[in-house]
Each structure stands twice: as structure tokens, then as C-alpha cells.
Amino acid sequence: MKYKKIGDILILDKNYPDEDFEELSKRHKVKTIMKIDHIQGTKREPVYNILYGNETETVNKENGCLFKLDLSKVMWSKGNNNERLRIAKLVEDGETVLDMFAGIGYFSIPIGVHANAKEVIAIEINPNSYHFLCENIELNRLDNITPILGDCKVETPKFKADRIIMGYVKTTHHYLDMAVNSLNEGGILHYHETVPEKLIETRPIERVVSAADGRDVELLKINKIKKYSPGVEHIVVDAIIF
């Protein structure tokens, strides 16, 4: 029986058995208890069930950042916790960062809080996520994040950056060409992919090299973020593109 606490909301695993949920809420000091069946579509929207309470908006504290979100409208992946902080710590002073699938600011907010970037351009297609991205910029009192409501396919070519984060999985490789085109010479790409274990060392880097289209690529790291499904890992490739 597993659960996770996000702000003051408890998310139970799908197979968590029925019990006295009011009593459970008191034990964990939460206002709402939910089950999230799955996250659907490109906008990554939860399909959920409320077991106790009715408020689904909360503020989650992580790595010294505040993330306001509505768990009935946008996703939160606890397993990406370390990756969110790892990226923030890599950003060097004065960098321009492009966060292509920004969500509620999963990467942009920690960068704003922990690094000293010149600008973080955060592109998000889901209006609900964009709403919380804007709220989280205010909540964390950040002044170097530019939120953009729109499709990466349309918005990315308008910018050049020293570092590009592609924090989305499944079809991320379809966006690789345009990410590389927007990356300054010697810039760093963080390319996410869900990949069968036996392909981890080959497929993601081959896709990056192919998108680089003749530009030199230096592989810095393949970082395992979490197990995605049986035999499939969520990984991120860090690479310099010259």
C-alpha cells in the first residue's frame, strides 16, 4: 500500500484498498485524498478520482521552491524530484535557458530559485499549466522567467539559447531538430526519452546526433531519472552541440 503527499493532498496508489478515508486524512494531515488513474494526452492531464474532501489545489514545497498546482488539472511527478534540482545546479551565471515543455515550471522555477540565469524562456501549451506557471513565478518572486502560452513547434524557432530543456517524453524526438536549431554553438541540450533498457546507450544519443545534422556532439551524460514501465526507463541525455 503506497501513497504520496503533494502539498496537503494525499495521492493513493491505484491498488490502495478502501478504508476510512476521513480517518486517513486526519492521520496524514491532508485536506483531500485522491487516486490518479493515469495522465492522458499531450497536455498531460490527470484522470482522477476523489476519495475524500473536494479541494484539489495545493502548494507543494520541493528543493526550496514553491509549486502551486491543481492536481485535478495538471500532473506532478514525484520521481523527477532529483532531476529538477540537478538541472538547476548546472545552469551557469548569465545563461539564456529555453524550457520547451515548461508545465507549471517544473524546471524553470528551480532554475529561477537556485541559479543566476539571464533569462529562462518557458513555453507551455496547456492553459491550466500556464496559469500555474505564471502563479509560481510570482509565488517564488522571480523576475527572469518569461512564460509563453503556446506550442513549442511554433515558439521555439523564435529564440536562441545556451541551454535547452526538453522535459517531455514519448514524442520528444519529433522536436529535436528545432531544439538543435535554437541552441547556440557550444550550448547544452537536455533531451528526455522513455527508452527500453537495452536501447539506453544507443537510441537516444543516435537521435541527438542525427538532429545535430553535422554539428559536433559531445555526450556529457545519460542520466536515469526513474523506471517508467516494466523494462522501460525515463532517461535524459545531456549533450553539448558545437
Ligand X SMILES: C[S@@+](CC[C@H](N)C(=O)[O-])C[C@H]1O[C@@H](n2cnc3c(N)ncnc32)[C@H](O)[C@@H]1O
Interaction site with ligand X (CB under 6 A): 42-44, 75, 77, 80, 84, 101, 103, 106, 123-126, 129, 151-153, 167-168
| Spatial CA neighbour of 15 closest among 47, 37, 33 | 37
Q: How far is the CB of 132 from ligand X (least distance, A)?
A: 10
CB-wise, 17 or 41, nearer to ligand X?
Answer: 41
Q: How far is the CB of 24 from ligand X (least distance, A)?
A: 26
Q: How far is the CB of 21 from ligand X (least distance, A)?
A: 26
Distance (Å, rounded) from C-alpha 98 to C-alpha 165? 6
CB-wise, 103 or 187, nearer to ligand X?
Answer: 103
Distance (Å, rounded) from C-alpha 86 to C-alpha 232? 22
CB-wise, 77 or 146, nearer to ligand X?
Answer: 77
Q: How far is the CB of 79 from ligand X (least distance, A)?
A: 8
CB-wise, 35 or 234, nearer to ligand X?
Answer: 234
